[in-house]
Amino acid sequence: MLEQIFNFSFLDKAASFSIVDILAALGVSFAVGLFIFFVYAKTFKGVMYSSSFGVSLIAMNMITTLVILTVSTNLIVSLGMVGALSIVRFRTVVKEPLDLVYLFWAITAGIIVGAGLIPMAIIGSVIIGLVLFIFVNRKMNDTPYVVVISCDGDESEAQAAYYVNQQTKKSVIKAKSVSKDGVELTIEVRLKESSSQFVNGVLEIDGVHSATLVSYNGEYYM
């Protein structure tokens, strides 16, 4: 009777796992995750870099690999794990759309490594990394700006608009505010020269009181 009570069958199943295979899969998953982290660090376009997000890419890759290894060995465990994961809700807001690409990349690579398709995971990750290196860094040297110009009236407004049109690659008036004190223009621009020279040139126009240049990190077209 006591032998039946303490005869845990799951210990026999646990013994059937190959420790070498588990360590090898986790090692490959760590290497792929480290490559994803490297690509994320090199293609990050913002100012406030989040190192925790990069580390989470490595951990997510390895955890996914471990989950797939577990699921592939037992049908009952796989059904229970699907049910358990279905009740998990993630509340963290992803601000950058590109961050979703890295999250999905880490999860997909973990699934592929866990399934034993290691060459596919390595080759696919290298190709994806090259694509991100080429296209993410493509617009780094052409930063869009928004310039806010305060001027007296119609004459100074026309001069400021003409100067902006001549000194930029492209300019679009986004807003115009008129009051008794004067006119305020909000113009989206792409500069030909340095930002300081451009702002100083705007201030030299007669009737212009102030000029503010703000970096614009939104999407724009070539």
Task: Give the total number of structural domains in the chain.
Answer: 2
Least confident of 10-24, 31-45, 175-189, 193-207: 10-24
Provide the domain limits for residue 172: 144-215
Name the β-bridge partners of 23: none
> Does residue 193 lie within any of the structural domains?
yes
**Do residues 114 and 150 both lie within one domain?**
no
Q: What share of the chain has pLDDT > 90, as a percent?
A: 9
**Do residues 122 and 204 both lie within one domain?**
no
User: Residues 151-174: pLDDT tens digits?
Assistant: 887 888 888 888 888 888 888 888
Domain-ending residue, one of 88, 110, 139: 139
Least confident of 8-17, 56-65, 202-211: 8-17
> Does residue 162 lie within any of the structural domains?
yes
The pLDDT of 171-184, averaged and rounded, is 83
CA 100/CA 165 separation, integer angstroms: 37
Would you tell me how many other CB atoms lie within 10 Å of the CB of residue 132?
A: 19
Token pair in block for residue 143: 């930063």
- The structure's pTM equals 0.61
Domain-ending residue, one of 139, 165, 180: 139
